[in-house]
Structure 1
């Protein structure tokens, strides 16, 4: 139990470890969805380019 906000934020002497851990966790939780969105767009764009290349190749054979 903490008797004051200062004791809570000090975390019994482990404040640096605890708050850095929370910070890294929050950072990862913010970056991951952004990264997934960027990757998804890149995959969709690559698939569209492959489809167009395949269509072009098929038209060249005819």
Structure 2
């Protein structure tokens, strides 16, 4: 059994600008890419909370603009 304190996570992102964490060393799911940030679960989640200020997909503003035209 692993100690969660020692577990390391990678912060990953997708094409819509969403963030998640993923256990370091495990294959990242299709559609997600490493951000270059790694750390403990707590540190990784703290980083995400600081940089991910909008949970809306990055395509939403364009879709809303198109709908208004």
Structure number with greater Rg is: 1
Length-normalised TM-score, structure 1: 0.33
Point out the structure with the larger strand share.
2
More relative contact order in 1 or in 2 (CA 8 Å, sep 6+)?
Answer: 2
Point out the structure with the larger helix share.
1
Length-normalised TM-score, structure 2: 0.31
